[in-house]
């Protein structure tokens, strides 16, 4: 028997709720006024009649964090493309990929919803690190 997972997506204007094996969804307003207490109260009220075995919660990552990640990847890619400080750029990207693999993808491997995708990302990062090592060596 498959586990029923309560999927909660915290968005900028709504919190969306659904059970993994159902098509029907429920939602309530979030906006800037969503507090932890309101989130828990509203979620309990919306899913009171649902049975589930686990909960998966998705929330928007801070924009600054995503901007920093994108900047490292873009600047590193441009540096490699134009052959500017290639070894230093490759080492920086290797350190970044090790950090991303351990802190972002690693903890999510056991997640029942995204675990398989995270394993794919980890393998992809290892392959990219192998390619970047050639820039360091030559």
Burial per residue of 85-121, b for 16 or more beta-carbon CB atoms within 10 angstroms, e otherwise? ebeebbebbbebbeebbeebbeeeeeeeeeeeebeeb
Angle (deg, nearest 10), helices 86-100 and 63-81: 150
Q: What is the pTM of this model?
A: 0.57
Q: How confident is the model at residue 61 (pLDDT cuts 50, 70, 90)?
A: low
Q: Looking at per-residue confidence, does 33 or 97 come out higher?
A: 97
Q: What percent of the chain has pLDDT over 90?
A: 57
Residue 5's DSSP bridge partners are: 54
Please tell me the distance from the alpha carbon of residue 82 to that of residue 27, in angstroms, as a whole number: 48
- List pLDDT tens digits, range 112-129: 888 899 999 999 999 999
| CATH number for region 5-58 | 3.30.420.40
Please tell me the distance from the alpha carbon of residue 42 to that of residue 91, in angstroms, as a whole number: 47
């Amino acid at each position: 028997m498959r586990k029923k997972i309560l999927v909660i997506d915290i968005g900028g204007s709504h919190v969306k709720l659904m059970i993994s094996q159902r098509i029907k969804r429920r939602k309530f307003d979030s906006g800037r006024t969503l507090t932890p207490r309101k989130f828990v109260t509203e979620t309990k009220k919306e899913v009171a009649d649902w049975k589930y075995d686990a909960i998966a919660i998705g929330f928007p990552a801070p924009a600054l964090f995503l901007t920093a990640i994108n900047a490292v990847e873009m600047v590193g890619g441009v540096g490699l493309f134009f052959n500017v400080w290639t070894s230093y750029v490759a080492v920086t990207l290797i350190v970044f990929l090790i950090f991303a693999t351990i802190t972002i993808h690693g903890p999510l491997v056991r997640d029942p919803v995204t675990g398989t995708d995270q394993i794919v990302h980890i393998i992809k990062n290892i392959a990219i690190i192998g390619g970047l090592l050639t820039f360091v060596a030559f």
